[in-house]
Chain A
Amino acid sequence: MKYILKRVIFFLITLWAALTINFILPRMMPGNPAEVMIAKFQGRLNPQAISALEIAFGINTHESMLAQYWDYLGRMATGNFGISVSFYPTAVAQVLAQAVPWTLGLAGISTVIAFILGTLLGIRVSWKRNSASSSFAVPIAFFLNSMPYFWFALIVEYVFAFVFGWFPLGGAYSSSSGLSGLALVWSVLYHAILPAATIIITAMGGWMLTMRNNMISVLSDDYITFAFAQGLPEKEIEMNYAARNAILPSFTGFAMAIGFVISGVLLTEIVFSYPGVGYLLYQAVLNIDYPLMQAIFLFITVAVLVANFIADIVYVFLDPRARSGGE
């Protein structure tokens, strides 16, 4: 319980840090980026919107920094992220809400699949360390892991959507109107296959290598030899003695791994014009829509924190030492 409490506190501190970054960045950067943005959209925004933006970015204000900060935290706490300038006059929250389900669906499912597949492969490859398939799989994983994700997405899109024409070039569902029920579900799945495959393949390599290293480390532990001495079946030793222990560091290193995966997801969405958060971030960047960008950054941070929190909880379930107080 103490462990969980510690994680909750860390969760809150990090959230606060992300909020503060959002507050400081526009105020600190040279060249008044926020003013540049307002000037750019001047003609299209009504005076009310402009003054809201000025308050949000601390322009033309006599309030002290601290007062601004306090107001800002208040707005964030009430979910008031302001108005998107590129989707004017829609509120940022609303724009974001439309993109979130797509990303959660695509990224959530493919990340879980990638984690499971990568981990299983890592177990296999380390257990059968000298087999031909292992000596094949490891260099491939290295290569996959060092590829720029968006580039791999481009190639996948080019080969399977453009050259072979097996899959759509982009989007999340067929734009032909009147799709409903099963046809719509199918269309959504069909559009998700390529981006999902891209994420799975690129993310898998990293998890495979991590698990492989952990396994090799664990395999020289005494309890493995002892398990062999007991004449336990190989499968039992592989899974319940070796893998069961080797997977623990995967959870403690989850924070970094998930960061890489998120980068992959964002870029993959952009390549496939998949209408999720990543693609939205890209549009916000192209249109210099700071309020939208900041909200997206915040959203992604919270999503990652939640994912980490889940990983922490699973970890507590998997490691009895974490359960009874210790680290």
Chain B
Amino acid sequence: MDALLKVKDLNAGYEFTNFKTWAVRNVSFELNKGEFLGIAGESGCGKSTLAFGVIRLLMPPGKIFSGSIEFNDIDLMKIDDESLRKMRWKEFSMVFQASMNVLNPVLKVRTQIYNSIKYHVNMTESELEKRAKELLNLVNVSSKYLDAYPHQLSGGMKQRVVIAMALALNPKLVIMDEPTTALDVVVQRRILQEIDELRRQLGFAIIFITHDLSLLVEISDSLAIMYAGQIIEKAPSEKLYAKPLHPYTYGLMHSFPPLVGKRQKLHGIAGRPPDLSSDIKGCPFYPRCEKRINGVCDIENPKLVEIESEHFVACHLYDGK
């Protein structure tokens, strides 16, 4: 197939002198060109670490422990720093979870957009200006804000500026780490649709991270569910929504109110996710799982296996044990 990104057995986390948080555990997945992949899971399950890890952006104490990452057949784990720098933004860009704080407070929006372009392609001042206006236009921000400083923009506007910046060089992949969490649900949904629109126009692939599964309904091509640093289920979206296999996915889907229709009382998942700085024996979901099989699930961690075509799940209910 047309794989753009191949991640294999990725392990990553945070290393301190006296302990280590193992936040991404043996994660493997592939992403095709132009694909919209959603990654969902409760807060603290390692989504951001995975996102940063995949583009080698983990800052100390964050670290990739092992694994391989191939982008467009280039091995990101082996590439030298300067080549990696050149690939960034041009090949893949990222919108951060903390989008409100990612703009440099002392530089004008103009300078920051210019910077994200001019270190990768040669452009004259007037070309830069034209491009910057185009980009702001794309995300519905008036170009008069080019000369504003970040503190003069509202939260939503900053968010849009960052999204515009992420698209500046027409990258092949845009990673979005909960880019809309600070906004209200309706606005979130609208921005997501706009982003999807842009994707269809410009043809880039998206990894969209969220803790709110309902947000991605009818938008993403495929979905991966993370729990305790692992991908525990992955499938094309329709399949997953129609028939969630993993007990955690099932729980997650029923812990958010449906977007349309009557709001029912939520019956989320009881308990908390495990501490990622400790070793986990058996299935990480075992303590919270309603369907656990004693003597099996607490002994062996299930592997992610393809149960039906393109439908992967890591659960002993399905691997015949």
A residues contacting B by CB (< 8 A) are 220-223, 225-233, 236, 240-241, 244-245, 248, 318-321, 324, 326
Q: Answer whether residue B106 sits at the interface, using C-beta atoms and an 8 A cutoff.
A: yes
> Is B85's CB under 8 angstroms from A225's CB?
no
23 example contacts (A-B, Cβ-Cβ < 8 A) are as follows A220-B59, A223-B102, A223-B105, A225-B52, A225-B59, A225-B102, A226-B103, A226-B162, A228-B57, A228-B88, A229-B57, A229-B88, A229-B96, A230-B88, A231-B87, A236-B115, A240-B107, A240-B115, A244-B106, A245-B105, A245-B106, A318-B106, A320-B106
Q: How far is B101's CA from A326's CA once the two chains are assembled, in angstroms?
A: 18
B residues contacting A by CB (< 8 A) are 52, 55, 57, 59, 84-90, 93-94, 96, 98, 101-107, 115-116, 119-120, 149, 151-152, 162, 165
> Is A236's CB under 8 angstroms from B119's CB?
yes
A241 (CB) vs chain B CBs: closest residue: B104
Contact of A232 with B152 at beta-carbon distance under 8 Å, contacts A225-B57, A226-B96, A320-B105 already known: no
Q: What are the nearest 3 A-B pairs in CB distance? A: A231-B88, A226-B102, A320-B149
A-B contact count (CB 8 A): 81
| Residues in A whose Cβ lies below 8 Å from that of B120 | 231
Q: Separation in Å of the B126 CB from the closest CB of chain A?
A: 22
Q: How far is B59's CA from A220's CA once the two chains are assembled, in angstroms?
A: 9
Q: How far is B152's CA from A326's CA once the two chains are assembled, in angstroms?
A: 11
| Residues in A whose Cβ lies below 8 Å from that of B94 | 229
Contact of A229 with B104 at beta-carbon distance under 8 Å, contacts A222-B96, A222-B98, A320-B149 already known: no
> Is B89's CB under 8 angstroms from A231's CB?
yes
Contact residue among A222, A229, A244 (Cβ-Cβ distance under 8 Å from B101): A222
> Is A320's CB under 8 angstroms from B151's CB?
yes
Interface centre among B57, B87, B106, B119 (most CB of A within 10 A): B106
Q: How far is B151's CA from A229's CA once the two chains are assembled, in angstroms?
A: 21
> Is A225's CB under 8 angstroms from B96's CB?
yes
> Is B96's CB under 8 angstroms from A230's CB?
no
> Is A229's CB under 8 angstroms from B85's CB?
no
> Is A223's CB under 8 angstroms from B103's CB?
yes
Q: How far is B112's CA from A244's CA once the two chains are assembled, in angstroms?
A: 14
| Residues in B whose Cβ lies below 8 Å from that of A220 | 59
Q: How far is B116's CA from A223's CA once the two chains are assembled, in angstroms?
A: 13
Q: Separation in Å of the B319 CB from the closest CB of chain A?
A: 38
> Is A321's CB under 8 angstroms from B101's CB?
no
| Residues in B whose Cβ lies below 8 Å from that of A229 | 55, 57, 88-89, 93-94, 96
A223 (CB) vs chain B CBs: closest residue: B104
> Is B101's CB under 8 angstroms from A223's CB?
yes
Q: Separation in Å of the A128 CB from the closest CB of chain B?
A: 13
| Residues in B whose Cβ lies below 8 Å from that of A230 | 88-89, 93, 115-116, 119, 165
Q: How far is B31's CA from A90's CA once the two chains are assembled, in angstroms?
A: 87
| Residues in A whose Cβ lies below 8 Å from that of B152 | 324
Contact of A245 with B104 at beta-carbon distance under 8 Å, contacts A226-B96, A231-B90, A321-B151 already known: yes
B162 (CB) vs chain A CBs: closest residue: A226
Q: How far is B59's CA from A229's CA once the two chains are assembled, in angstroms?
A: 11
Q: How far is B171's CA from A229's CA once the two chains are assembled, in angstroms?
A: 13
Q: How far is B210's CA from A187's CA once the two chains are assembled, in angstroms?
A: 71
> Is B103's CB under 8 angstroms from A231's CB?
no
Q: How far is B103's CA from A128's CA once the two chains are assembled, in angstroms?
A: 24
Q: Separation in Å of the B241 CB from the closest CB of chain A?
A: 31
A323 (CB) vs chain B CBs: closest residue: B149
Q: How far is B94's CA from A227's CA once the two chains are assembled, in angstroms?
A: 11
Interface centre among A220, A223, A233 (most CB of B within 10 A): A223
Q: How far is B58's CA from A220's CA once the two chains are assembled, in angstroms?
A: 12
Q: How far is B103's CA from A240's CA once the two chains are assembled, in angstroms?
A: 12
Q: How far is B96's CA from A248's CA once the two chains are assembled, in angstroms?
A: 25
| Residues in B whose Cβ lies below 8 Å from that of A245 | 104-106
Q: How far is B60's CA from A220's CA once the two chains are assembled, in angstroms?
A: 9
Q: How far is B205's CA from A231's CA once the two chains are assembled, in angstroms?
A: 19
Q: How far is B57's CA from A228's CA once the two chains are assembled, in angstroms?
A: 8
Q: How far is B98's CA from A319's CA once the two chains are assembled, in angstroms?
A: 22
> Is B103's CB under 8 angstroms from A232's CB?
no
